[in-house]
Amino acid sequence: MLRVLIVDDEPLARRRLEILLREQPSVELVGTASDGVGAGRMIAERSPDVVLLDIKMPGLTGLELLDALGEAAPIVVFVTAFDRFALDAFDRAAFDYLLKPVEPARLAASLARAREALAERAAAERVQELEEILHNLRSGPAAGPASAFDREIWVQERGGRVAVPVAAIDWVAAERDYVRIHTGARSFLIRQSIGALAGRLDPTVFVRVHRSSLVRADRIVRIRHAGGRGAVILSTGAEIAVSRRHMGALKAMTVRRPTYSSTTA
């Protein structure tokens, strides 16, 4: 199933694309957005395979949105009434460029090419994984005992996969069927439950503070508890809510560190 997001500030244009997509086999419309800012949030939350993206929109244009997404961008097919933006679009590695009014056959051809590109990308990832396994096998046993927990988390980025060192992770947040890994100024989205990811991380290093949040203990610089509500503040400045259920375990884990304060402020 090809997951598609429509982004256009014109209601009639969105409606026409919705109708055309219904005629395409094995296509799921995951949502529509009327501006670039809303589209950015929906892309992060719903991880579409393909975005049908208008260029001229108030606020954040389609070209600016693609720049903002960077390596994390899905396949982007620009849909616009103006052909003068084509060069800028392809300079930004746009997958395709459709002129309004979009012809059904032209849309179908673009989506078929997108399916092929996704299949090729998945095959390349499998080859890379096999190469990594073979390399590890040929390298022989490690010098010391193997850790039961991951030292790196592989995440999908545009054009390939990247290893995120576990030592660089500040905190993790659940987002529906995904988790967002926060590392300094960057974040990465992977399709996995927070419970499954927690099982891959050392529980003496990472602590669950909420059903949807996991933090690295040595990043905590303060624990706040006031009026029945709790939060941890990290060295990065991030503030994460702590549920009442997890407060006891959190305080026990950090009891040797002078970071806990209770306030009514």
202-255: pLDDT as tens digits: 988 998 888 899 999 889 888 887 665 788 899 999 999 888 887 777 766 655
pLDDT at 18 over 50: yes
CATH superfamily of 2-119: Response regulator (3.40.50.2300)
- The pLDDT tens digits for 116-148 are 888 887 776 666 665 665 556 555 554 445 568
Range from 88-92, 137-141, 149-153 that averages highest in pLDDT: 149-153
CATH entry, 152-262, from 1.10.260.40, 2.40.50.1020, 3.30.1360.30, 1.20.59.20: 2.40.50.1020
Least confident window among 13-22, 63-72, 209-218 = 63-72
**Average pLDDT score over the chain:** 81
Higher pLDDT, 164 or 259: 164
How many percent of the chain have pLDDT more than 90? 28
Q: What is the DSSP string of 230-243?
A: EEEEETTS-EEEE-
**For the chain, what are the domain ranges?**
2-119, 152-262
Question: How far is CA 251 from each of CA 124, 226, 255, 257, rounded to the nearest angstrom?
Answer: 45, 14, 6, 9
Angle between helix axes 62-69 and 36-46 (nearest 10 degrees) is 40
Residues 6+ apart with CB under 8 A from 192: 178, 179
Higher pLDDT, 262 or 45: 45
